[in-house]
Amino acid sequence: MMQKTTIIFNKKVKLNKPILIVGLPGIGSVGKLVSGHLIKEFKAKRIATLYSPHFPHQVVMRKNGSIRLVSNRFYLMKSQKAGGNDIVLLTGDVQAVTPEGQYEVNSSIVDFFVDTLKGDFIYTIGGYSIGEGIVAKPRVFANVTRTEVISEFKGHDIIFGKSRGLIWGSAGLILAFAKIRKIDGICIMGETSFLEVDASAAKAVLSVMAKKLNLKIDMTSMDAKITKAASALHALERQMATGYAPPGHEGEGNESKPSYIR
């Protein structure tokens, strides 16, 4: 039985100077949107799967009627340039649910990247919540393992030294463990608000990544997500303004307008 974090790796895979991009569930689903878009856009192939008893006690129901354990998954984007850096993308269903689990899982990810994949630079992707209304034009903030890394990102529309507070979960801890292993890295955060899935913030991050990594990224599907979210938000605003209640909820509460959105 599984008693610790386990990574199952296809040892036949050959990588060239890989960098790691981590996009896991988090604030605004920014990281997961970015990693998922890159995997689909570049038809990245899975090379490893991470399972952990620190993940929620859940299984995923599949389209074919079977099930699978929740997991994190590593995908490979081979470099299109001879001698260029391969890109390993890490995404998944969940993060560890306890502090102890966060430490074990994220240290295992860094050890795997450094010791097995022989990589030497890590990007983590997340959302930076401003806790206000909708952000019309999301900015991109970042923090790095060493201040010397900042110079590598000059001219890439990234704001350093202005974000405040804490970086929760994998986006922060992976960089912390990378720093311990003397590996450089950066946490890139798209500015987001209360949206559960913020495609605008993800697009802002993708634009920065495309420029830095010299990738041509088709944003058509991301733009469709942005349009869909905007339409849903406008519909909600109209409902709030008119006092509309969904069928079956008429007359609930004190008045027709809700006092909050969640």
Residue 245 to residues 117, 237, 258: CA-CA distances in angstroms? 54, 12, 9
| Alpha carbons within 13 A on the beta-carbon side of 213 | 26
Say which range, 13-17, 38-42, 71-75, 80-84, has the weakest mean pLDDT: 80-84
Answer whether 94's CB lies under 8 Å from 136's CB: no
For residue 257, the model assigns a pLDDT of 37
For residue 248, the model assigns a pLDDT of 57
Whole-number Å distance between alpha carbons of 20 and 124: 8
For residue 134, the model assigns a pLDDT of 73
The model's pTM: 0.88
Answer whether 192's CB lies under 8 Å from 201's CB: yes
Take residue 5 and report the two structure tokens written for it. 């974090």
Take residue 45 and report the two structure tokens written for it. 């192939």
What would the DSSP string read from start to end of 18-70?
Answer: -EEEE--S-GGGHHHHHHHHHHHHTT-EEEEEEE-TTS-S-EEEPTTS-EEE-
Instruction: Kindly state the average pLDDT of the residues 134-157.
Output: 93
Instruction: Kindly state the average pLDDT of the residues 247-251.
Output: 53
CB atoms inside a 10 Å sphere around CB 227: 11
What would the DSSP string read from start to end of 207-253?
Answer: HHHHHHHT-----HHHHHHHHHHHHHHHHHHHHHHHT---TT-TT-S
Whole-number Å distance between alpha carbons of 123 and 144: 9
Name every residue whose Cβ is closer than 8 Å to that of residue 258 and which is 6 or more positions away in sequence. Answer: 240
Q: What is the pLDDT of residues 72-113, one digit of tens each?
A: 999 999 998 888 999 999 999 999 999 999 999 999 999 999
Take residue 201 and report the two structure tokens written for it. 């913030």
pLDDT over 80 (residue 177): yes
Residue ranges and CATH numbers for the domains of the chain are 6-218 (3.40.50.10900)
Take residue 196 and report the two structure tokens written for it. 């559960």
Residue pointed to by tokens 């391969």? 86
Instruction: Kindly state the average pLDDT of the residues 150-173.
Output: 95
Whole-number Å distance between alpha carbons of 148 and 150: 5
Whole-number Å distance between alpha carbons of 128 and 204: 12
Answer whether 16's CB lies under 8 Å from 185's CB: no
Whole-number Å distance between alpha carbons of 47 and 14: 10
**More confident position, 66 or 233:** 66
Task: Write down the mean pLDDT value for the chain.
Answer: 90
| Alpha carbons within 13 A on the beta-carbon side of 216 | 1
